[in-house]
Structure 1
């Protein structure tokens, strides 16, 4: 997905990929049974990426 964004908008995504604290936070959400959401923006679109623990149902 990051390859579809212009360089200026892809930079925060690439930073997120290397952000250990954010990954730990996402794991805390998932291991506690909650979904994790990351929202990305560019000039004309908004992308909402979600991850849910196995067996979880519902919408964020």
Structure 2
């Protein structure tokens, strides 16, 4: 299966809480690889964890 289709399918299956993140990935001008998608997801997860920690400490 073409990697572009796999990446698109994974993005489509992300939870609704990542709506803005999904939109950003879908509207990139260049296709992204599975490795790039994994990196984007790790960064998004790290940011989400940091935001949750800040909210809990506030």
Settle same-fold status: TM greater than 0.5. Answer: no
TM-score by length of 2: 0.31
Higher RCO, 1 vs 2 (CA within 8 Å, ≥6 residues apart): 2
Tell me which protein shows more helix as a share of its residues.
Answer: 2
Tell me which protein shows more strand as a share of its residues.
Answer: 1
